[in-house]
Each structure stands twice: as structure tokens, then as C-alpha cells.
Structure 1
Amino acid sequence: MKLERGIATLTLDSPANRNALSAALVAGLADGLKACAKDPAVRAVVLTHTGNTFSAGADLKAPPSPYAYVELMRQIVELPKPVVGVVDGHVRAGGLGLLGACDVVVASERSDFALTEVRIGVAPAVISLTLLPKLEPRAASRYYLTGERFGLAEAVAMGLVTAPDTDLEAVLDGLRGASPQGLREAKRLLTARVLEAFERDAEDLVQRSATLFASAEAREGMTALFERRDPEWRL
């Protein structure tokens, strides 16, 4: 963790696998967030990355428990300090769930995004907890169903990204000027309904995700991905 004028920076730093969400990466980020929550010197948290990918989604070779990933998203939502996601590159699948959990997200012009789950035979199940409350419904339908890649302009228009990264310093300056109590209580207002969805839907979505990943179609989709070929259902 790096701390500068009240802003703690946590960095996804596993470029060898494009910051895929492995058990180790999820555990490390959870530990960093716990430290930020306890440290009175931390006013807000920036979540960023090394390399050209914020996160490639779940690490299919060393995945975390789905419960651990749900708990990580909830930890970001519940953190009593604002979390600002900073993206300069690619974001795929489960990586978008982290952005949905953040309070503010800024991204560079070269950033791109995709919900690629349908292309390997599964669905964006658990990440719906943080994404669906924030995404414009018609855009969510398109990108959930097609797995298409989209850029910064589309991400801002649909509610995934708050602003271009040129706004980052203004956002951080605003957070530095706000009281800790004010930030905490404002965030509680903003996240109340999302936390209700965690209580209501998390278990069902974890089970649905597990069923999908254990299916024959998902096995074919993941095999095709690793073999760099089209899955058998491709028309």
C-alpha cells in the first residue's frame, strides 16, 4: 500500500497473468482493504493496476472461491472510505465486478471492456451484484448477451465508468477536502441498496455460477479458449 496525502493506492500487480483474479490476488487485495479500513490516515483508496490490463477476469487455472470473490466485492462496497478505480488498459469479465463495486471509476482513452462470460458458456452471475445497480439497462442487455468489446465513451454512457482519467486529480482533491464522517455517511446512503442485494441474492448467484462452470458447455468453452479455437457452438 502506498499512502500520499490521505490517498492509499492498492495496485493489482500480477502482469504475468494479466491480473487475473486468482485466489492469491483476491486474498492480497482483501488484506490491503482491511488495512485501509483500519488506518485513520487513509481518507480514500485508489485501486489501480500494473501492465496493460486492469484484470482479465477470473483466473481459470487458480480461481478463488466464489464466496471469496463475493466477499471481496462486498468489502469494497462496505469500506467506510471511498474507493476510486483507475483503469489504463483492458478489463474483462470479473474485473468489471471490481469496477462496479468502486464508488468512482476513471479510465484512459485506450481502455476497453468486455463481459466475455457468454463466450465460454457461463454468465456474469456474481458480478451482477455490483454491476446491474449501476448499468443502464439497455446497455447491460447488449453487452451481457453479446460479449462485445466497448470503449471509454460507451463505458461512461452506461454508468460503468464515471469520467475520463483526466478528472482523477479533481476527484482526489474533492475527497481530500471532505470530512471522514461525511464521506462515510454519504457512502452508506449510496450503497444501501447494493448491500441489500448482497443479502438477498449472493447465495443464489454463487450457486448459479457454480452450476454453470460445472456444465458441459462451460468445459467446451474453456477448452476452446485455452486451445485458441472457436467453441463448437460458433456459427
Structure 2
Amino acid sequence: MSDFNTLELITDSRGFATLWLSREAKNNAFNAEMIRELIIALDQVQGDPSLRFLVLRGRGKHFSAGADLAWMQQSAELDYHTNLDDARELAELMYNLAKLKIPTLAVVQGAAYGGALGLISCCDMAIGADDAQFCLSEVRIGLAPAVISPFVVQAIGERAARRYALTAERFGGQRAREIGLLAESYPIDALDQQVEQWVANLLQNSPAAMRASKDLLREVGNGALTPALRRYCENAIARIRVSAEGQEGLRAFLQKRPPSWQPQEPRS
């Protein structure tokens, strides 16, 4: 794993990685260096076949305060084409996270503003603290949530996205759960314990089946029925039934034993 200035990528021996935003003194705000390092870190995660899933977190009090003020000031002094290059870099990050082959879980505490909502929306699942604060704050400073908007709409729906992008209202963890940005919200002092429960649950599942299910759901999209989608789904189940993990899972179920990928209980 590479050394990073703005991140920490930590691999757990149980078979997953945690990617920490680690600019705590800047409330984990984005700058060009962090965006580039996130792209590199996701490439490393994508290339590691031992990883079952990825957890995305922020060090310190806040998940991420959005864009770094100094970086935004620099951007304001750049011409259109240089700003376009910056936007393409941010888009590469968001699309790479959304298309990661393994499941992704964001864990949110404190502030999650602007582009931070993009990161959360790109993850397959997100949980957070009840008192977390979310905001699509771009219009307050004369900007728009352009690059992140497709992912935010997918996460919370078009109507809610219009409201929060146009008003820049802040909303909390419970509201984030209501509109679908978070799967669950918890008291802040219970958040780490809940993360462990989510991790333990994901570790029960076949790594190959989770990857296959993620590919399947991406292909299914909004569920519009077409002959091509029917054929894809038929082939998907046939392929996984004859795969090594599919065969192991079926045998384990019939033999009433845990499959090989599940953590083994220590013997007394």
C-alpha cells in the first residue's frame, strides 16, 4: 500500500479495508491532493483480490467539510480549461468509487458538506450519527453541485435533490435516513459498535456473490424489463450456481455447516 499525506488505507486481517479521510486539522476538506490520493487508493483497493468490501470514514470530529477553502480560492483564479481539468479529476474519483467491484460502506459523523455528499452517495450503503449534519452547500457560495449531482439523485431521488441543492438547507442523520442517504442512523456514542455489527454481517457473505450481486444490480438499474435484461439475469444465476463459491455455499447449506468464507468460531 502507498503512503498518503491526506488518507490512511488500512487492511483488516479479516479481509476488508478501511479508507480514512485524514486531514483532521482541515475537517477532512477536499483539495487536489486528496482527490488524487483517493483515486490512487481506490485503484489499489480494486486491484486487491483479497478484499471483500471497503469502509469509508473520516478521522476526527467530521466526515468531511467539503471543499478546502484555499483550494477553492485557487480554483477561482484559474481559467475555464484548468477548472475543467479539476472537474474531470473529481468526476474520476466519484465514478471510480461508484463502480468499485466490491461493496462499499460509508460511515458519517459530524459535518458532511458539498462534495462529501457525493462520496456518501457513491457508496452502496451508508450509516451515520443521528447528530451528523448534511448540506448541499454549493449555491450559498455561487456554485452548483454539478459533478456529484447524478450520484446524489440516485441516492435520495430527484425531488429531494432539488430541494436540498436549491435551498442549501442543513439536515440531520435521521432526515438523511428518511430520504435514503443513510441506511440507518445511530446515537454518536453507539456508532463504532454499529460499524462492527455491519462489518460482522458483511463477513458472513460470499465475497464472489457480493461482487456478482453488485454487477447484477448495476445492470438491472431501475428495473425496466427488457428481453436483454431477462437474458442477463438468467445467465447471472446460472454462472454463480456453477462457480466455486456457489457450489460451496449450496453444499454447506445442505450439510448444515458454515461455508468456508465465514469466520470460524474458536473451539473451546
TM over 0.5: yes
SS in 2 for 1:66: helix
TM-score calculated relative to the size of structure 2: 0.68
Task: Give 1:3's aligned amino acid.
Answer: T
Give the deviation of 1:59 after TM superposition. Answer: 2.4
SS in 1 for 2:91: helix
- Does 2:48 align with 1:39? yes
SS in 2 for 1:62: helix
Max Rg structure: 2
Against the structure 1 CA distance between its residues 59 and 17, is the aligned structure 2 distance closer, same or farther, given a 3 Å change threshold? same
Q: Within 5 A, what are the aligned runs for 1:169-208?
A: 169-192=196-219, 193=221
Task: Give 1:175's aligned amino acid.
Answer: L
Give the deviation of 1:112 after TM superposition. Answer: 0.9
- Cα distance in 2 between the residues matched to 1:158 and 1:53: 21
- Does 2:183 align with 1:158? no
* Among 2, 7, 28, the residue aligned to 2:16: 7
- Cα distance in 1 between the residues matched to 2:216 and 2:152: 17
Against the structure 1 CA distance between its residues 67 and 60, is the aligned structure 2 distance closer, same or farther, given a 3 Å change threshold? farther
Equivalent in the alignment of 2:27: 18
- Cα distance in 2 between the residues matched to 1:133 and 1:81: 19
Q: Which moved more, 1:146-155 or 1:173-182?
A: 173-182
What's the C-alpha RMSD, in Å, of the aligned pairs?
1.8
Task: Give 2:42's aligned amino acid.
Answer: L
- Does 2:82 align with 1:73? no
Q: Within 5 A, what are the aligned runs for 1:36-115?
A: 36-62=45-71, 65-115=86-136
Q: Is the 8 A contact 1:77 1:191 kept in 2?
A: no
- The share of aligned pairs that are identical, in percent, is 38
- Cα distance in 1 between the residues matched to 2:200 and 2:25: 33
- Cα distance in 1 between the residues matched to 2:215 and 2:98: 9
Task: Give 2:197's aligned amino acid.
Answer: A
Equivalent in the alignment of 2:159: 138
Any unmatched runs of 5+ in structure 1?
Answer: 195-235
Task: Give 1:137's aligned amino acid.
Answer: E
SS in 2 for 1:134: helix
TM-score calculated relative to the size of structure 1: 0.77
Give the deviation of 1:60 after TM superposition. Answer: 4.1
- Does 2:140 align with 1:119? yes
Residues 119-143 of structure 1: CA distance to partner in whole angstroms, max 9, x if unpaired?
Answer: 1111111111211012133322221
Equivalent in the alignment of 2:234: none
Give the deviation of 1:40 after TM superposition. Answer: 2.1
Any unmatched runs of 5+ in structure 2?
Answer: 1-8, 73-84, 186-190, 223-268
Give the deviation of 1:98 after TM superposition. Answer: 0.3
Against the structure 1 CA distance between its residues 100 and 123, is the aligned structure 2 distance closer, same or farther, given a 3 Å change threshold? same
| Larger RCO of the pair (alpha carbons < 8 Å, separation 6+) | 1
SS in 2 for 1:79: coil
Q: How many residues align structurally?
A: 194
Give the deviation of 1:186 after TM superposition. Answer: 1.1
Task: Give 1:68's aligned amino acid.
Answer: E
